[in-house]
Structure 1
Amino acid sequence: MGDLRVGLIGLGAMGRHHARVIRQTPGMDLVAVADPGGDVHGVAGELAVLGDVEALIEVGLDAAMVAVPTVHHEQVGMALAAAGVHTMIEKPIAHSAAAGQRVADAFSRAGLVGAVGYVERCNPAILELRRRLAAGELGQVYQIQTRRQGPFPARISDVGVVKDLATHDVDLTTFIAGSRYRQVAAQVTHRSGREHEDMVVATGLLESGVIVNHVVNWLSPMKERTTVVTGERGAFVADTMTGDLTFYANGTVPTTWDRVAHFRGVTEGDVVRYAVPKAEPLRVEQENFRDAVQGKGATIVTMDEGVHTLTVIEAILQAAEEGRTVTL
C-alpha cells in the first residue's frame, strides 16, 4: 500500500498540530484540509481550505482526522463512515454516549478503522508504566489516582472540565488497569461564571476491584498532569507533562523508630526515575492509526472504548448532580 491520502477537518488548537504531525509521518500524505472558520493558524500551506466535510470527502481520501468542536463530531463522523473513510476523531468521540455509539456502530458496520484521539495513551511515561505493570513489577494494583489541573483554556466553550479534561483520566485509567469502571461518585463546582462545571473530584471502582480517584480542574495557577498507581510493591508516578516515570519501592529495611514507623505504614524503599525514550505522543498516535489502517495490527483507542469513556463521564456528571454513587 502506498502513502495514505489523509484529510483533516478542524484547523484550530489541535488541528494545527495534527496537520504538522501528519506531514511529518512517513506513509501519510495530507491532501486536503477543511474548516468553515478558515485557517486561523496558517497551517494549510499549499492546500485550499475547504468549507465542510462533504468537500473534504470529494477530494478522495483513505483516512481522515477530525479535530472539530465536540458538538460536530457525530455529524462529521457519520459522513466519513458513509463515505468509507477510515477515521480518527479527537476525544471525546461525540457530545454524548448515545451519539458516540451511533458513530461507533456506523464504522463497525462499514468495516472501517475507527479510532478516538486520546493522545495521553501514547505518552512515553504511560507506555513505560503499562509495560512494567504487565511485567508484574508492581504486583497487584490497589489504586489509581490522577491529578489534571491548570489554568482555564480560552479555546473551550462547548463543554465543562469533565468532558474536556477528565475524559483523559478515565481513558488512561481503563488503559492502565485493563479494566472498565463499575461505579463512580463525584462532586463538581462552578466558580468561573460559565454554564459548565470547572472543577471535579471523582472517585470510582473498577470491575477488577481497583479503586480510583480523579482531581481535575482548570482554575489552578499551576499545571499538573500526574498519574499514581499504588500496588503491593510500591507506587509508580507518571508525569505526562515531562514524560517521566518514577518508582517508589516498598522498602525491606525495618524502621525501629516507633514514632516514625507508626505513621508510615509501609517502609520507604528506593526511589528510581527511569530513563525513558521520549517520542512525541501525537506522532506515536498518528503512526498507530496509520498502521491500523494498513492492517498492521497497531494499538489504537477503539470507538467502543471511546463510548465507554463517555458513558463513565456522563455517570460522573449524573453522580455529582444527584449526590449519589452511580453504578454503570
Structure 2
Amino acid sequence: MGSHDLLRGAVLGLGMMGRHHARILQSNPAMRFAGAVDPGGDRFGAVSDGALVFATVDELLAAPDGPPDFAVIAVPTEDHLRAVRELAGAGVHVLVEKPLAATADDARELIGVVRDAGVRGAVGHVERCNPALRALRARVQEGLLGDLFVIATERVGPFPDRVRDVGVVKDLATHDLDLVRWLGGAPIERVAAQTQHRMGRQHEDLVLVTGRLENGRAFNSTVDWLTPTKVRRTRVLGERGMLVADTLRADLSFYANAHVTTQGWPAMQALRGVAEGDMTRYALERREPLAVELEEFCALLRGEDGAAVVTLEEGLETVAVAEAVLASAASGETVALEPSPS
C-alpha cells in the first residue's frame, strides 16, 4: 500500500469502545470506514449506513468492496483470540482493544497467529495517546525531573455496569500497568498487591499495587470501582520536582523543587530536604486520544517511521503483570516477573 493510501478499517463489536472507533472511522479524513460486525446489530446508532453493519466476520469479509485493510477488535476480552484468528487468516491487520487477551497463554497464542499470518498487530492502550501523558513522558525523557524516584497512578470511580467478565485489575489496572512501564522506561520486575471484593461480585472491585521496575524505579497504583467521583491522575516524582497529569482534563503541571537556605544551621538544612518551588501548568494541544491511536496504527501499516503503537509483545507483558498482581493478592506475597529478554 502506498504512503498516501486511505486505509479501510472495520470494527468488531459496537459496545462502549467499538462505537467510538466506528464514529472516528466514519469521520476522520485520514481513513475510510469498511463496516462493523455485531450480532446484536447497531444498538447505539453508531453507523450511519445500515448496509455496513454485519452479523458475522464472514459477512464483512464477503462485502462488495472486499475485506478491510484492518479491523479494531472491541469484542469481550475472552473473544479476542477467536476474532484475531478469523481476521488474520483473511489477511486483515488487527488493532486489539486492551487487554490483549484474557490470559497470558491466550496472548502468546494470539501473537503466534498474527505472526504466522504475516499481518501487523497492535494493542489499544489508548492512555498512551492522552496529550497530558505524552507531554509528561516527553519532559521526563528530556531530563526535566532528573533521576526518577516513583511513578504513582490513581484510577478510581463508580462501577461501570457494562463490565461483566473481569474485575478491576484486568479491565482498568491494565491501563496503569502499561503506563508505569512506558513512563518508567523498563519492564515491571515485581509486584505486591491487595484486592477487595465489596460489591458481592465474583471479581475484585479494588486493587492496590506496589512494585518495582527492572531499572530500580518504584511505582504504586490505586484502582477501584468504589469511589463516587471519577479520578484519573498520574504523578511522577524525581530529584528536581514532580509532574502531575490529570488525564480526564488532559492537563499537565510541573511542581519544581525550591532550595531554601538556612543560614548558619547546616544540620537543619540537611533535614529540610526540598521545599515548594514554582508551579507551571503547560498549554497543550488536545486531540481525542482514540483518534490519535487509530492514526498511529494506520501510520504503522503504511510503513512510516516512528509510528507510536503498543506492540503485541508489550500487550502480552501487561497481561502477564496483571496475572502476577492477582496472584500476589491471592497469596499475600510479592510476585516476581520473568526477566525481559536482554
Q: Place the TM-score, normalised by the shorter chain, in its bin.
A: over 0.9
How far 1:115 moved relative to its partner?
0.8
Structure 1 residues 154-197: Cα deviation after superposition (integer angstroms, max 9, x where no partner) = 11000000000000001111111121000001000100011100
Q: 1:119 aligns with which of 126, 130, 144?
A: 126
In structure 1, the residue matched to 2:161 is 154
1:176 paired to 2:183: yes
How far 1:255 moved relative to its partner?
5.7
In structure 2, the residue matched to 1:56 is 60
Range moving further from structure 2, 23-32 or 290-299: 23-32
In structure 1, the residue matched to 2:303 is 295
In structure 1, the residue matched to 2:282 is 274
In structure 2, the residue matched to 1:244 is 251
Q: 1:34 aligns with which of 34, 37, 49?
A: 37
Range moving further from structure 2, 113-122 or 58-67: 58-67
In structure 2, the residue matched to 1:218 is 225
In 1: Cα distance, 2:291 partner to 2:121 partner = 18
In structure 1, the residue matched to 2:99 is 92
How far 1:109 moved relative to its partner?
2.8
In 1: Cα distance, 2:220 partner to 2:105 partner = 25
Letter in 2 for 1:53: V
Letter in 1 for 2:35: A
In 2: Cα distance, 1:17 partner to 1:214 partner = 27
Q: CA RMSD in A?
A: 1.7
- Maintained 8 Å contact 2:211/2:219: yes
- Maintained 8 Å contact 2:244/2:252: yes
In 2: Cα distance, 1:233 partner to 1:112 partner = 44
The 3-state SS of whatever aligns with 1:268 is strand
How far 1:97 moved relative to its partner?
0.9
Q: 1:73 aligns with which of 80, 98, 108?
A: 80
The 3-state SS of whatever aligns with 1:165 is helix
In structure 2, the residue matched to 1:304 is 313
TM-score, length of structure 1 as denominator length: 0.96
Structure 1 residues 236-272: Cα deviation after superposition (integer angstroms, max 9, x where no partner) = 101110101111111123367x9x9798642211111
- Maintained 8 Å contact 2:10/2:22: no
- Maintained 8 Å contact 1:5/1:28: yes
Structure 1 residues 30-66: Cα deviation after superposition (integer angstroms, max 9, x where no partner) = 1111101221101122143211222223331111111
The 3-state SS of whatever aligns with 1:317 is helix
Range moving further from structure 2, 15-24 or 260-269: 260-269
- Maintained 8 Å contact 1:33/1:47: no
Residues matched between the structures, number: 327
How far 1:104 moved relative to its partner?
1.4
1:283 paired to 2:291: yes
The 3-state SS of whatever aligns with 2:172 is helix
In 2: Cα distance, 1:57 partner to 1:102 partner = 23
Range moving further from structure 2, 103-112 or 180-189: 103-112
Structure 1 residues 93-137: Cα deviation after superposition (integer angstroms, max 9, x where no partner) = 111111011111221233322011111000000110111111111
Letter in 2 for 1:303: L
In 2: Cα distance, 1:261 partner to 1:166 partner = 40
5+ residue gaps, structure 1, are: none
In structure 1, the residue matched to 2:340 is none
- Maintained 8 Å contact 1:107/1:113: yes
In 2: Cα distance, 1:58 partner to 1:249 partner = 58
Letter in 2 for 1:243: A
5+ residue gaps, structure 2, are: 338-342
Q: Where do 1:190-209 residues align within 5 Å?
A: 190-209=197-216
In structure 1, the residue matched to 2:193 is 186
1:316 paired to 2:325: yes
Change (3 A) 1:264 1:191: farther
The 3-state SS of whatever aligns with 2:253 is strand
